Amino acid sequence: MTPQPRRRRLEVEDIGDITVVNFVDKKILDEQNIQVIGEQLFSLVDELGRRKVLLNFKNVEFLSSAALGKLITMNRKLQSAGGKLILCEIDPQIYEVFEITKLNKLFTIHKDEQTGLQSF
């Protein structure tokens, strides 16, 4: 069976030495999509050598615990490479998921992109 071409799941823009990432999907759910999102995020660090990554959640309306796992791995990757991951513009309902899981203590989270950019 021919593998299906992988859709781009992230919009990536460099602002100075900071890589700003927006999610294409409103719902970060499907196992296969989450796998692809993970691979595309990790390649920013492993292949493209990015060290300052700002993940902007403004498009995201829903995510599951499987997506949180990829964010944790991304955070760990950046930390061990001497880099930094910052999250911003998280919808209040989704921020509650970070609070319940106490991941708001693990991640650096800012309200808006500008504050996030200034925090590296």
Binding site for other proteins (CB under 8 A): 29-32, 62, 64-66, 68-70, 72-73, 75-76, 93, 97, 100-103, 105-106
In whole angstroms, the minimum distance from the beta carbon of 42 to other proteins comes to: 12
Choose between 7 and 105: whose C-beta lies nearer to other proteins.
105
Q: Are 26 and 60 in contact (CB under 8 A)?
A: yes
Query: Counting beta carbons within 10 angstroms of the beta carbon of residue 37, is it exposed (0 to 12), middle (13 to 18) or buried (19 or more)?
Result: buried
CA 25 → CA 46, 81, 87, 99, distances in Å?
23, 28, 16, 22
Choose between 18 and 90: whose C-beta lies nearer to other proteins.
90
In whole angstroms, the minimum distance from the beta carbon of 101 to other proteins comes to: 5
